[in-house]
Structures are given as structure tokens and as C-alpha cells.
Amino acid sequence: EDKVVQSPLSLVVHEGDTVTLNCSYEVTNFRSLLWYKQEKKAPTFLFMLTSSGIEKKSGRLSSILDKKELSSILNITATQTGDSAIYLCAGTSYNTDKLIFGTGTRLQVFP
Amino acid sequence: DTEVTQTPKHLVMGMTNKKSLKCEQHMGHRAMYWYKQKAKKPPELMFVYSYEKLSINESVPSRFSPECPNSSLLNLHLHALQPEDSALYLCASSRGTARYNSPLHFGNGTRLTVT
């Protein structure tokens, strides 16, 4: 059965810290991995990663996929209170239109 | 604000009521989705529409009935719901479907409470 596992489940840091969120996947006919940030309501799209291994960056956020390890990391540098959210990763497959979501990592950033 | 608009934002309904959730996008996306999300859980897929045709039904109970009148609109008709159906219902759209590497764009959701 396809699955996506995220770690840690929860993370508490102070502003200015750097954090690394992990996502491992077992997806049949894997196509890509998506990262989303969910605050109160809508998950907002952050990155799409493929087995090409190309790193994606947006401001203080960056992410890369390791196809040998079947995993991805999301880095956030110089964290701010506005980064507090649940970060979801989801795998996609060539076989289906269904995203396989992980359980999420809850990040809390305190001043 | 997102480019996927959902109404209403909140809905309280009794178990005998009939109500509808609405979703609209004007990004020219051809795939639309309904997800259900319980507290502290990831979104669970309910339905996928691709080019206005239902392509996935994740064995959802018939008390939930989706409808896609055109490529910009998606409805979810609710009837005889149970209290355990209380959740955040998220609509999403994508240019193509997920298998074609199209990221999903989510709406803000409808917070549904069944009493």
C-alpha cells in the first residue's frame, strides 16, 4: 500500500531558528512530491519535486528530493512566527489522480 | 484569499436537512476535487472530476452527491448526514489531474457541523 510518512509530528522553535522537515514515501510508479503549508484553512502550494533532484527555493524556504532514499526535506531558515502552520507533503503517482498525503508536521514558532 | 472560492464558509445542518456546498474557480483548470478534513488529520479525497466527468469516487456514502455543472463549478449536495460527517470540506482544482504533475490549488473550505 502506498504511504507517505512525515517527521517530526510536531516541532517548537524560536524565531530565527532553522528547521528541517522530513518526508519519506513509498508510492508505486512515483511521479512527484508536493509540499503544502496549511494555516487555518486552505493548504497553500509550496513546491513540487521530482526525481530529477533539482532543489526548489522560495525565499527562506527550500526543498529537495532524494530519489535513492525515497525522501524529501523542507528547510526553513530564519523562521518567523508567520511560519507557524502544519506542513503537509503528498506523493503523486502515474497510476492515479489521488494524492497520498502524510500526516503533516505541526510547526510552532515562538517570538 | 485563494483563487478557488467556496461557499458557504460555515454551515450548520440537522440530520434531516438537504444542503449544498459550492466551489468555483476561474483559472481554466480542468480537474476539480472534493476533500474532507477532520481535525489534526490530512485531507481525505472524496471525488475527482476531470473535464467535467467523475473520474474517482473514493467509496463515499451516497448521502454525499457531487455535481459538476461546468468546468468552473463544483457542487457537493448533502442529505441525511450524520454527526460524524462534521468536518472541513475542501475543494481544489488543478490544470490537469494529479497524475499529470499539476499541483492542486485549494479553497478555504466549508466548516460543516451536523447536529
Mean pLDDT of successive 10-residue segments in chain B (115 residues)? 89 93 95 95 94 94 96 96 96 86 92 96
Please provide the DSSP assignment of A81-108 as one string: GGG-EEEEEEEEESS-S--EE---EEEE
pLDDT score for B1: 53
Under DSSP, the state recorded for B28 is -
Distances (CA, A) of B47 to A3, B67, B91, B108: 19, 10, 10, 17
Count residue pairs from A and B with Cβ separation < 8 A: 61
The pLDDT value recorded for residue A33 is 95
Do B99 and A101 count as a contact with CB atoms less than 8 A apart? no
Across chain A, mean pLDDT equals 95
pLDDT on residue A52: 87
How far apart are the C-alpha atoms of A99 and B44, rounded to whole Å?
Answer: 9
CB distance A42–B4 less than 8 Å?
A: yes
CB contact under 8 A, B2 and A42: yes
* Largest Cα span, chain B: 40
A77 vs B: CB within 8 A: no
**Which pLDDT score, from 0 to 100, does residue A19 have?**
98
Distance CA A99, CA A90 (A): 6
| A31-74 pLDDT, tens digit each | 999 999 999 888 999 999 998 889 999 999 999 999 999 999 99
